[in-house]
Structure 1
Amino acid sequence: MVAGGGMGPDDEGISFAHALATLKEQGSALLVVGSVPEELFAKASRTMLGDPDADPPRRRLVVTPEPNPESAVRRLRETGPLSAEYARVISRGERARSAAVADSFDEMTPRTHVVDDSIRGLGTTIADVIEEFDLFAGGLEPAEFRMAFDCLPTVLATHGREVAFRFLHVVIAQARSVSGLVHFRLPRAVDSEAVGLFEPLFDATVELQVDGDDLHQRWHFRDRDITSDWLPVGDRP
């Protein structure tokens, strides 16, 4: 790993581990970048949503633009309980509304909240879910709330950069208020203009890359002069 300040290899490892621990203790927002196949992003996203054996279980929300969010449901199924006090999906569109009604009697499907294209409605629904999780928990512990936000490209394309930036600022503040650990997907190169625009809102940028058949990640911490080596995706933060 590469780190600033002239530290040796051991110091660098300790600094990286400390940076990760601090993200969990204080709540954090991660920008996940790099163009990788959907199934490989989902693999990385699962590690950020938490260990299915965590005690207490993580309270997880996946926000997806997909009208029938199979990837979202699969990630929630593989990272903990699916009951309403632990897992939710926010999806968009009328097809999703029909699917949510049909799945409401399926104990293997998490509760789905459906919103239209309104940015206000999306933000309000996220805030409502966070508040409900906090009430269920009797006060969320640090990193107990986890969110995967897959909609950033859609928000950017639909509403433009200025609105997207303000929206992210509000949503990240809501997540930080309960010390949540949340990640937002933007499948662009780490040195792209869009990534440069949004990076100041985030605590760290997680860069994804496919090497052969394997998925690797590299972490860039905004307030620390630390960038990790390329690491295999698998360990859960």
Structure 2
Amino acid sequence: MTHGHPFRLLKGALGIGLIWISLALPLGSPGVWAQGDFQAQVISPPRDQPVWGTVDIVGIATHPNFAKYDVAILDAHDFSKEWRWLVQGRSVRADTPTVLATWDTRLFPDGEYVILIRVWDQGGGWHDFLFPGYRVANAQPTPTPTEPIAPTIEPEPTGTFAMTPTVQIELPPTATPGPTPTPIPGLRQPLPGSSLGLEALLGAFFTGVRWTFTLFGVWGTLLLLRWGWRWWRRR
């Protein structure tokens, strides 16, 4: 067992712990990530979208006693692999969105990666900020532009054509006969002037209803009087 093997295991365990802490933070947090006085943020490229070619990493890296910052790219699935440093020891304080580093994704295999920003203070202290959710996809096919197809112009025929006048003949308008009612077999046709309207039918219906309720009322009154007479006689 070599002396570097335990260090790699410790480095991998530390990296996995840091990535879980970073994943627990909201991906769309608009504020700057801070740890004490150390502050960092990645604004571009956006997370959870594929990146390819050369990409500028725009963000913030600052501290009240700022000294420098570093930017590295980590394998999202194995932090024990080599950290690829894009920038080391840059002493430009980025209080506002600044191009922190340029990432040539063509030098990395397609896969998931994490952007690491390390901020240093003048006393030699530092803090790492991890930003997961970046996917390199250089192998995706590039659409090939298609050339527009020029329209085909057919040659016009040559020669002289004689214009023949068109004669229009207008016919006199013909009256359209209306529909003729067809009698239904077995149905008695009403005589002219004696048709029964809807209003008369409704009147006859409601008159019958009133008479029916009147008769039931008289009958019920008689039954009630009869029952009362019998009850009074038993007393």
**Quick check: which has more Rg, 1 or 2?**
2
- What is the TM-score when the length of structure 2 is the normalising length? 0.25
Q: Which has the higher contact order (CA 8 A, sep 6+)?
A: 1
Q: Which has the higher helix share?
A: 1
